[in-house]
Structure 1
Amino acid sequence: MYYPAEQKTHNKLDKFRIPICRVGRKQACLVFCSFLVLLSIGFALNVFQFHKREVTENPDMISITQQEEFTIIIQTFKRDDILLKVLKRCLVVPHLQKILVVWNNVGQPPSQKLQESLRHHRTPIIFLEQKINSMQNRLQPFPEIHTDAVMMLDDDLLLSVSDISFAFTVWKQFKDQIVGFVPRKHVETTPGVYDYQATSLSELQFGRDKYSLVLIGASFFHHRYLKLYQDQPKAMHRLVEETQNCDDIAMNFVVSLHLRKLWNATRPSGIYIKPLDLVSLETQAISGFKGMWFRPDHFKQRSNCLTRFAQIYGIMPLQFSNIVKTHFA
């Protein structure tokens, strides 16, 4: 039977149908697939924004980030070329949140060439320009630090990615101590007088030598020690400022004394990590500027610091250890 009214309605609806027969099935599929891609991108962006907002607003998520990531602090002075090599190596290390460059070139901001070389990396690099050139600049409790772990690194030391990652893993087991790659020791020559000496790494791994300091120029430690360092006696800060040396020895005193209070027992300030690949770039700087190691009175000066610090604190808190952490143990 024929229904004229119904046929008329169908004719009106036909105007809104996609004319597949004219456009073609391939073009229709292309339009449909493009729509799905745009929908997927929109969904992904919403998920990302939600996750970002969740991390920002959720204290538990922030706490996890603080524990699972770390901040690198590098202090530098007149060695842009080797600094760039060190930075590029650090930027590929997993779990790195950001890098703080303590810029001691007073009155000379970081060059455009240096900043351009680092612009395309996703990990933030923040240059902190200082008003004075001081060894102690690197030991400030910078507000830019949002992680428990801090890695202090000299601008002339090149460590392998696996060494840095391994040290961070070890530090998470010894969060109250310094975990690093350069051990040293103190030797009491006469009562109350101390000598600063290198540790024999070959003897150490067989238990025939020991260390009492782990230098912070290639180490992990908890960020709380930066604030604790600032709270130390003025005489200690004055000695470091006068010598432009020994801030790393002072930090070992700070950690040792804190551990004594924390555990009500004596513990070594640090844990030594045997590196797979640690290279010094000190002699490669185009500027020719060399660090403290090349000063003729370097070891004598540091021996004097040990003695003076013991006098300032009224105690020698450093404890010996022969613990060696290796990748294969």
Structure 2
Amino acid sequence: MYNPSEQKTRQPLDKFRFRICQVGSNKACLFFCLLLVLLLFVFALKDLHFLKGEVTQNPGVITLTKQEEFTIIIQTFKRDDILLEVLKRCLDVPHLQKILVVWNNVDKQPSQILRDSFGHHRTPILFLEQKVNRIQNRLQPFPEIHTHAVLMLDDDILLSVSDISFAFTIWKQFPDQIVGFVPRKHVETAHGAYTYQRTKLSDPHNGGGDKYSMVLIGASFFHARYLKLYQDQPEAMHSLVDTTQNCDDIAMNFVVSMYMRTVLNDTRPSGVYIMPLDMVNLEMQARSGFKGMWLRSNHFKQRSYCLNRLAQIYGVMPLQFSDSIKTRFTWLRK
């Protein structure tokens, strides 16, 4: 049935369609459509550029990069072979912004093999050459860090991609704590002194288990703010770490505990332990012949000394105990 109102509605559209597509050829119609899409794309890019500029120029705005990506810091000394293997594994990890290699080989520059091996990769690897071989070189607030989260790795620790990704997820839930894979504890003796010990963690829901009071930073996530805070600590603490060439990881647990205790009014422990599914120590595979500190005969004695000395420096033992274990399974392996 004829409807006059429908006819009136069609007329403007018909005129428009006629002007675009019926004048000339189909090529003209196609050209117009492509031009329209291009203009829309240009305007979208302009808006995106404006928003990006607004975020980077406004210091009060936290960018997505800082929240959703992280920086890896690896300190190395004369172990290029295993460092190469660790770097290869790290480059497969999602959400990684860049890798900083703290180069402690003061008498030798990074080899061309190391530099060339990853030149084609989209994730940059920066070699930060140090003037002095200090264990605490890695705990500097490097200007190259543009993320909130830092993943610190020893150059002999090989973690699976899934373990790293899971740990990053957990860290975003506990950004004020050290989230990592190596727990340790302090034990107070009858005479009021402290000893440094390993833990024997088991499922706390099935009859209890051991506890931990530290999470070592050699395989852990923590907030980049703690790098600056570490540098601001008493000179006596830095002197202790330099003298022993040890214990910077214990000191960092003190730093985090003191910050949470005094600034955040928070009594939680310094660390959150994650049970790894696939973590390998490459120490014995190093062809350079250099062996780590934990193989020294006096290693645990020295670290016990550090615990007591740090407690003296800070005037308190701030470390708190925890039996929390984060795992991807609903049950925990013993």
TM-score interval, smaller chain: 0.7 to 0.9
The aligned counterpart of 1:123 is: 123
Change (3 A) 1:284 1:48: farther
Does the CA contact (< 8 Å) of 1:179 and 1:221 recur in 2?
A: yes
Distance across 2 between alignment mates of 1:185 and 1:135: 21
8 A Cα contact 2:215 2:253, kept in partner: yes
Please name the residue that 1:165 is paired with: 165
CA distance in 1, matches of 2:155, 2:47: 35
Alignment of 1:4-83 (within 5 A): 50=49, 56-57=56-57, 63-83=63-83
Q: Distance in 1 between matches of 2:229 and 2:55?
A: 28
Tell me which residue corresponds to 1:134.
134
Residue 21 of structure 1 corresponds to none
Q: Which residue of 2 aligns with 1:250?
A: 251
SS of corresponding position for 1:227: helix
The CA deviation string for residues 48-86 of structure 1, in whole angstroms up to 9 with x for no partner, is: 994876765566775221011110100000011100111
Q: Is the 8 A contact 1:272 1:323 kept in 2?
A: yes
1:92, distance to aligned residue in structure 2 (A):
1.0
- Alignment partners' CA distance in 2, 1:152 and 1:96: 12
Q: Give the CA deviation at 1:87.
A: 0.6
Q: Find the counterpart in structure 1 of residue 10 from structure 2.
A: none
Q: 1:215 and 1:48, CA in 2 relative to 1: closer, same or farther beyond 3 A? A: farther
Helix, strand or coil for the counterpart of 1:67? helix
Any conservation in 2 of the 1:205–1:324 contact (CA below 8 Å)?
no
Q: Could you tell me which residue of structure 2 aligns to residue 220 of structure 1?
A: 221
Give the match's secondary structure for 1:263.
coil
Letter in 2 for 1:247: D
The answer for the alignment partner of 1:312 in structure 2 is 313
The question of 1:185 aligning with 2:191 is answered no
Q: Which shows bigger deviation, 65-74 or 46-55?
A: 46-55
Instruction: List aligned pairs for 1:270-289, cutoff 5 A.
Output: 270-289=271-290
> Structure 1 CA distance, aligned partners of 2:261 and 2:107?
42
Matched, 1:211 2:244: no
Aligned to 2:249, what secondary structure does the other structure show? helix
Which string of whole-angstrom CA distances, capped at 9 and with x for unpartnered residues, describes residues 237-260 of structure 1?
101100000000000000001111
Unaligned runs of 5+ in 1: 1-27
CA deviations 1:192-236 (Å, max 9, x no partner) are 310100011346675311000000000000011111111111111
Kept in 1, the 8 Å contact 2:186–2:213? The answer is yes
Q: Distance in 2 between matches of 1:224 and 1:152?
A: 14
What amino acid does structure 1 have at the position aligned with 2:283? E
Tell me how far 1:267 sits from its aligned partner: 1.6
Q: Identity across aligned pairs (percent)?
A: 73
Pick which of 201-210 and 263-272 moved more. Answer: 201-210
Q: Distance in 2 between matches of 1:167 and 1:265?
A: 22
Return the letter of the residue paired with 2:170: V
- For 2:294, the equivalent position in structure 1 comes to 293
Deviation at 1:262, TM superposition (A): 2.9
- Whichever residue aligns with residue 300 of structure 1, its letter is K
Q: CA 1:263 to 1:55, structure 2 compared with 1: closer, same or farther past 3 Å?
A: closer
Q: Which residue of 1 aligns with 2:15?
A: none
| CA-atom RMSD in angstroms | 2.7
Whether the 8 Å CA contact 2:214–2:253 is kept in 1: the answer is: yes
Kindly tell me: are residues 148 and 102 of structure 1, through their superposed partners in 2, closer, same or farther at Cα, counting changes over 3 Å?
A: same
Shift of 1:264: 2.2
Opposite residue 239 of structure 1, the aligned amino acid is L
Shift of 1:323: 0.4
> Alpha-carbon deviation of 1:100?
0.5
| 1:260 paired residue number | 261
**Alpha-carbon distance in 2 for matches of 1:55, 1:86:** 34
Contact 2:201/2:323 (<8 A) preserved: no
Which residue of 2 is the match for residue 110 of structure 1?
A: 110
Give the TM-score normalised by structure 1.
0.83
Distance 1:232 1:63 in 2: 29
Residue 228 of structure 1 aligns to a residue whose secondary structure is: helix
Give the Cα separation in 2 of the matches to 1:48 and 1:239: 53
